[in-house]
Structure 1
């Protein structure tokens, strides 16, 4: 049965790769497409307004890897500490861009440039695993609780697997495998399953201690590292259908779907080791506000995770996985009902269900770039899966694209603001790039939407 699933998986990947690697830019096939103009908008937004603004600008030819800070008008900033997460996302984006633009060799070269920095600088040759943060020259920056993270290493796997897929570089695949095995040895929880997020330099998990501040996430398990491990293992499994990797991918899918997602159809954010949610719902509003980072409803993460679960299920070859599809749908529906701005569109940053109050309260009405990007991708998936549903996902998708073009995309300078201008007008002159913001969320969304629209009629 396992061999059959792997065969199905491999066939589906070959079909997908053939479609994606062609670039899907054949104008003739779009001439009679009902969404021809819209597809062109997304392709332009992905290439001219995003990729061509960022690359080769952020290629650090002096010290390797990619520059971190980019100003609002696309000039290099001043601070260039390099975090494994964002460095990996640049590798992933360029690897995918290389597949979509086979006639342009620069994207594969950009990805190779990032891979060399990973191999030669970010990988800890003494202890294994990837350093979380280094300075511009590649010297490790060690902060309390941030020596190594499962989150950072997950993105390393994600970028390396994509680069291998685009280049065939076996050294990159070997490093991705080594990272997976390092996480298996140090981060995987054999008793309660899932992964420890924070680790010492040698990979020893950092346990929660009484002396730690109540606002600290150190020692907790969390949804964010879990969903991105799921994402990374999905990418790796498509190029390396290993039995243990399959087991861990399925394990994460079940944990996220049936434990992290709660009975109210949104995700709790942080957990004790045994997956007991960290919550402050019985505390005062002041204390809840103090602990906002640890405990709130994040519509952006929920719509993103709906996609990541469906993608993992597809990679595993689970053909009739109605459970994952229905839970993904419920998460999207909840996000639209509780985290959507009915006036101008867009997903709010976060809300909270205060005890004794009816419904949810929007705690932070700002709108970040990544949630809107992930929303576009997932809403179109829901449109395709449930075309006649009363939620009318296509209406929300169209409204979100209109919102994104109006408030999130910089028509003059290119790229995306970090926050929607309707709620955060100062974002217009704020940084376009830093160690937490690059091109992966929006490039993935724009290209996935363009490709999905081409397949829909």
Structure 2
């Protein structure tokens, strides 16, 4: 790949307006109009996950808690943030809530299944255990749905979910949450005599993870926005401190896995999670009324600065997948969700620090160009999952249980709104 030439726009209201219109069109064409109502499963409930490049149904992987919560949430955001689609998306939101409450929720023992067969039965693929990462996104979807619908039953289900988590998964001794639970809700701990670590769903069973805890931070931020419960506030503050002070380390990397007492287990640095956590930390601090906390601001910015220093493609834009904390990237493939989280965070940092540096504004524009040139499918729309080092898609499927409309939908909504706010603020200052 030859380096991509780019002409940088100045940070002016006209540029902000122009880019906002471009990004909003991407949201409509490459996210909302391809996923909805296509993904609504009118036969079994919830959302269908698996799609080919040209948006034909691929063989189903079943109903995954993470996907179901995320799709419910993004449909709710379409109600809240896209006036033209509010009427069309309200029944989709309720459709998602109904599936989370009546199917994903275990009526016998409580908590949400990690995943189910399409017909709502327990399947060998997912088993009957509970996983906090999945439960987190069910809470996230319900919280967003309540904000969109104001349905008290939806809020009650979100509260019920939080209380179940508190009873079964919170680690009162060390802080944070046990991540894998039996169906009955008992934490699954590490066998100290075992040499090999059991892997399930991409997680080492019995350990705590960065990934689950940043998304618990995310879902609790969303729940706190609609329910100002004091216990929830304490847990949100606890999670903010864990992600900032235990998970993140100098010079701006995050450890991926931990023992129950928060001793880090060696692994790589995920650049995408670094830039995503920048946004989630600042979002949580804002929800708690701590927007000017210098420690959170410093750590959050440090994460993206480190990703730009070690995991950024200067020639073409885009963040690589992962590497060591102080060395070259080891995995140079580019994953769609990493690029979208990067786009969101780079503009956020420009809005905060753009008066002192142009680094984030220029990186944002290069990131947007990369997505448009390589990640976006100009023929069938939507985004390729994974791009090779030569700029070609490694896979052409558009949907899976891990790839829905959440990362790209949220990023494009946030970027559109932030560009419009920045344009108005800049115009108002003159």
Q: Same fold (TM over 0.5)?
A: yes
Q: Deviations over 1:188-221 (max 9, x none)?
A: 0000000011110011010111336247300000
Q: Secondary structure at the match of 1:239?
A: coil
Q: Aligned to 2:142, which of 160, 163, 166?
A: 160
Query: What residue in structure 1 maps to residue 318 of structure 2?
Result: 346
Query: What residue in structure 2 maps to residue 13 of structure 1?
Result: none
Q: Aligned to 2:82, which of 77, 97, 101?
A: 101
Q: Aligned to 1:316, which of 288, 292, 311?
A: 288
Cα shift at 1:321:
1.2
Q: What is the distance in 1 between the residues matched to 2:121 and 2:207? A: 27
Q: Could you tell which deviates more after superposition, 259-268 or 226-235?
A: 259-268
Q: What is the distance in 2 between the residues matched to 1:197 and 1:158? A: 17
Q: Aligned to 1:36, which of 4, 13, 17?
A: 17
Query: What residue in structure 2 maps to residue 233 of structure 1?
Result: 220
144 and 82 in structure 1: CA distance in 2 versus 1, 3 angstrom threshold: closer
Q: What is the distance in 1 between the residues matched to 2:82 and 2:355? A: 35
Q: What is the distance in 2 between the residues matched to 1:62 and 1:145? A: 23
Q: What is the distance in 1 between the residues matched to 2:372 and 2:214? A: 28
Match status 1:444 vs 2:426:
no
Query: What residue in structure 2 maps to residue 211 of structure 1?
Result: 194
Match status 1:223 vs 2:195:
no
1:127-142 map, 5 Å: 127-141=109-123
1:120-131 map, 5 Å: 120-131=102-113
- 8 Å Cα contact 2:385/2:393 also seen in 1: no
- 8 Å Cα contact 1:296/1:350 also seen in 2: yes
Task: Give the unaligned 5+ runs of structure 1.
Answer: 1-31, 280-294, 354-358
Cα shift at 1:371:
0.7
183 and 42 in structure 1: CA distance in 2 versus 1, 3 angstrom threshold: same
Q: Deviations over 1:152-195 (max 9, x none)?
A: 11001100000000001111111111111111011100000000
Q: What is the distance in 1 between the residues matched to 2:366 and 2:134? A: 33
- 8 Å Cα contact 1:65/1:87 also seen in 2: yes
Query: What residue in structure 1 maps to residue 300 of structure 2?
Result: 328
Cα shift at 1:46:
0.6
TM-score normalized with structure 2 length = 0.91
145 and 138 in structure 1: CA distance in 2 versus 1, 3 angstrom threshold: closer
Query: What residue in structure 2 maps to residue 79 of structure 1?
Result: 60
- 8 Å Cα contact 1:365/1:423 also seen in 2: no
- 8 Å Cα contact 2:116/2:126 also seen in 1: no
Cα shift at 1:326:
1.0
Query: What residue in structure 2 maps to residue 150 of structure 1?
Result: 132
Query: What residue in structure 2 maps to residue 409 of structure 1?
Result: 376
TM-score normalized with structure 1 length = 0.86
Q: Aligned to 2:339, which of 372, 388, 397?
A: 372
Q: Secondary structure at the match of 1:158?
A: helix
Cα shift at 1:430:
2.3
Q: What is the distance in 2 between the residues matched to 1:417 and 1:426? A: 6
391 and 212 in structure 1: CA distance in 2 versus 1, 3 angstrom threshold: farther
Q: Secondary structure at the match of 1:363?
A: strand
Query: What residue in structure 2 maps to residue 186 of structure 1?
Result: 168
Task: Give the unaligned 5+ runs of structure 2.
Answer: 1-12
Cα shift at 1:33:
3.9
Q: What is the distance in 2 between the residues matched to 1:144 and 1:54? A: 24
Q: Deviations over 1:133-170 (max 9, x none)?
A: 10111112256887101111100110000000000111
Query: What residue in structure 2 maps to residue 20 of structure 1?
Result: none
Match status 1:51 vs 2:32:
yes
Q: What is the distance in 2 between the residues matched to 1:211 and 1:327? A: 36
- 8 Å Cα contact 1:199/1:206 also seen in 2: yes
- 8 Å Cα contact 2:130/2:181 also seen in 1: yes
**RMSD of equivalent CA atoms:** 1.7
Q: What is the distance in 2 between the residues matched to 1:237 and 1:82? A: 27
Q: Secondary structure at the match of 1:88?
A: helix
Query: What residue in structure 2 maps to residue 112 of structure 1?
Result: 94
Moved over 3 A (4+): 142-146, 388-391, 421-424
Q: Deviations over 1:90-121 (max 9, x none)?
A: 10000000112334312111111111111111
328 and 87 in structure 1: CA distance in 2 versus 1, 3 angstrom threshold: same
Cα shift at 1:426:
4.2
Cα shift at 1:422:
4.4
146 and 125 in structure 1: CA distance in 2 versus 1, 3 angstrom threshold: closer
92 and 269 in structure 1: CA distance in 2 versus 1, 3 angstrom threshold: same
- 8 Å Cα contact 2:115/2:127 also seen in 1: no
Q: Deviations over 1:311-361 (max 9, x none)?
A: 0000011142121111111111000001001121110000015xxxxx413
Q: Secondary structure at the match of 2:385?
A: coil
426 and 392 in structure 1: CA distance in 2 versus 1, 3 angstrom threshold: closer
